[in-house]
């Protein structure tokens, strides 16, 4: 019978002390043990009690294991190995946690069900004790050669590892994600061209050769890094760069929101308030035209008629819809036409100043936007992986060590996503009083 996750021990005594179960275990008496260095039959020097912490049981209580560990010594005077303690799959040498407790802690952090500190409190050990065990487990997961397979579409996205303070600047890290599956491939420091180029130089040549499309936000650092990598690394010259649709539409929404704030301040002299028409309709302005019902259209048009005397907000709203039409088109030629219309609309001499910035971005990223429409590549799964990364950061209340941050992220999102079993709907019982 397997006890405590190990079939090499037997329980000799059990005691419940203050709601905590204490188990005394030991290995059966060995018939013959040889010295690993000289091969002489070893002799026993008795047993020494070692205290271990086991994983919580079904009732949630933590179990303490007291392992009566046997000590051996070699009678050969010329042998360099004098004494040693027995080893068992119950726990690794010089560890406080059993192997089952280490796997439980790693699984808990992998599922982002708590932090290292909360796991340590649950087991009744120190933070470093849990993290040393989890880090060893995570290094095995990250170092698995079969963890990352060929990637045809690579997604890049940045996230804030540490917010700015009085003594330190804001620190960014970038996530390389398989845009087809959402698997986090790796985390590297920074978001500049040099940071991306340095990371690509460290990747295997065969893995880089399989990449066909790189999808990223309209950030010049990523585009410059890919351009340099085509020349200096094994990244193929035929690799295309695709601009993420969400990032482009977000710039159009920011232009609309900026124009709304500016016009409101110029007409009223104060920031938006609850009863102001433009402030009250701020979310309707950012909603897609096809998602507005009749009441929404009436409310938005009434706000524009009442508080947009120069029609600048209306022009930004039309520009936003032109940008959305680019990625809604099924035919690349239609998307190209919508892109040209959006640029022409934003570059009109009477256009608001917010659209001038949007026009420059659309013209500068013209090729990348066309590639995104033609290849149907987006950072949707990359953004989902980024949300899980932020979930890991929130669960730990922030990180200061990039190595620990990387291991926690790759442990939680660095494996291939599993196909979950579809949920079977449960029919509720019909009340007996219903006629």
The CB-based long-range contact list for 299-302 (8 Å cut-off, 24+ gap) reads 302/277
What is the H or E stretch that residue 416 is in?
A: none
Q: Give the tens place of pLDDT for each residue, 46-95.
A: 888 889 999 887 767 778 899 888 888 888 888 888 888 888 888 888 88
Closest to 49 measured CA to CA, from 32, 64, 29, 62: 64
Instruction: Tell me 401's DSSP state.
Output: -
Alpha-carbon distance of 291 to 12, in angstroms, equals 69
SS3 336: helix
How many CB atoms lie under 10 A from the CB of residue 254? 15
Output the CA angle 144-147-148, nearest 5 degrees: 125
Alpha-carbon distance of 41 to 60, in angstroms, equals 44
Alpha-carbon distance of 67 to 23, in angstroms, equals 8
Longest dimension (CA), the chain: 101
- What is the C-alpha radius of gyration for the chain, rounded to an integer number of angstroms? 31
Q: Give the tens place of pLDDT for each residue, 152-180.
A: 999 999 999 998 888 889 999 999 999 99
**DSSP characters over 127-191:** HHHHHHHHHHHHHHHHT-TTSS---SEEEEEEEEEE---SSS--EEEEEEEETTT--EEEEEE--
Closest to 174 measured CA to CA, from 185, 159, 164, 162: 159
How many alpha carbons fall within 13 Å on the CB side of residue 191? 17
Instruction: Tell me 270's DSSP state.
Output: S
Alpha-carbon distance of 213 to 152, in angstroms, equals 7
- Residue for token digits 């940008």? 323
Residues 6+ apart with CB under 8 A from 409: 175, 184, 187, 389, 392
Predicted local distance difference test score (pLDDT) of residue 325: 95
Give the pTM: 0.82
Closest to 281 measured CA to CA, from 254, 303, 260, 308: 303
Alpha-carbon distance of 147 to 414, in angstroms, equals 8
Q: Are 27 and 9 in contact (CB under 8 A)?
A: yes
Alpha-carbon distance of 10 to 68, in angstroms, equals 10
Alpha-carbon distance of 377 to 328, in angstroms, equals 13
Q: Give the tens place of pLDDT for each residue, 240-262.
A: 999 999 999 999 999 999 999 99
Predicted local distance difference test score (pLDDT) of residue 26: 87
Q: Are 71 and 83 in contact (CB under 8 A)?
A: yes
**Where do the domains of the chain lie?**
10-102, 153-242+380-413, 245-375
Closest to 181 measured CA to CA, from 205, 154, 210, 215: 154
Alpha-carbon distance of 323 to 80, in angstroms, equals 76
Counting as low any pLDDT under 70, the low residues of the chain are 1-7, 30-31, 59, 418-435
Predicted local distance difference test score (pLDDT) of residue 250: 95
Residues 6+ apart with CB under 8 A from 228: 193, 197
Q: What is 153-242+380-413's CATH number?
A: 3.30.420.10
**DSSP characters over 276-307:** -HHHHTHHHHHS-GGG--HHHHHHHHHHHHHH
**343 Cα distance to chain centroid:** 35
Closest to 380 measured CA to CA, from 221, 231, 163, 157: 157
């Amino acid at each position: 019978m397997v006890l405590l996750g190990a079939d090499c021990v037997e329980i000799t005594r059990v005691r419940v002390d203050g709601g905590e179960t204490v188990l005394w275990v030991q290995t059966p008496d060995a018939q013959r043990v040889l010295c690993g260095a000289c091969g002489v039959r070893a002799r026993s020097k008795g047993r020494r009690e070692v205290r271990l912490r086991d994983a919580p049981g079904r009732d949630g209580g933590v179990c303490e294991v007291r392992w009566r560990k046997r000590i051996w010594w070699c009678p050969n005077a010329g042998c360099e190995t004098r004494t040693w303690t027995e080893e068992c799959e119950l726990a690794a040498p010089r560890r406080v946690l059993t192997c089952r407790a280490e796997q439980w802690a790693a699984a808990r952090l992998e599922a982002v069900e708590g932090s290292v500190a909360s796991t340590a409190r649950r087991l009744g050990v120190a933070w470093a004790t849990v993290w040393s065990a989890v880090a060893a487990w995570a290094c095995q997961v990250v170092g698995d050669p079969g963890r990352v397979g060929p990637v045809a579409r690579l997604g890049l996205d940045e996230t804030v590892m540490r917010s700015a303070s009085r003594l330190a600047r804001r620190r960014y890290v970038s996530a390389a994600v398989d845009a087809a599956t959402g698997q986090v491939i790796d985390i590297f420091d920074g978001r500049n061209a040099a940071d991306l180029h340095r990371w690509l130089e460290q990747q295997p040549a065969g893995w880089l050769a399989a990449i066909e499309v790189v999808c990223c936000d309209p950030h010049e650092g990523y585009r410059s890094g890919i351009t340099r990598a085509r020349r200096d690394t094994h990244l193929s010259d035929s690799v295309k760069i695709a601009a993420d649709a969400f990032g482009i539409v977000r710039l159009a929404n920011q232009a609309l929101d900026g124009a709304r704030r500016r016009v409101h301040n110029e007409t009223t002299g104060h920031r938006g308030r609850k009863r102001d028409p433009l402030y009250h309709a701020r979310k309707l302005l950012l909603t897609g035209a096809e998602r507005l019902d009749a009441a929404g259209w009436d409310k938005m048009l009434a706000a524009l008629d009442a508080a947009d005397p120069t029609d600048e907000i209306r022009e930004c709203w039309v520009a936003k819809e032109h940008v959305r039409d680019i990625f809604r088109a099924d035919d690349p030629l239609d998307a190209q036409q919508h892109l040209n219309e959006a640029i022409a609309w934003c570059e009109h001499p009477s256009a608001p100043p917010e659209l001038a910035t949007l026009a420059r971005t659309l013209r500068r990223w013209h090729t990348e936007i066309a590639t995104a429409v033609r290849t149907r590549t987006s950072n949707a799964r990359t953004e989902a992986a980024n949300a899980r990364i932020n979930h890991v950061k929130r669960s730990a209340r922030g990180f200061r060590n990039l190595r620990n941050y990387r291991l926690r992220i790759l442990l939680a999102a660095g494996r291939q996503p599993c196909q979950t079993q579809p949920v079977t709907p449960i029919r509720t019982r019909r009340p007996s009083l219903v006629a």
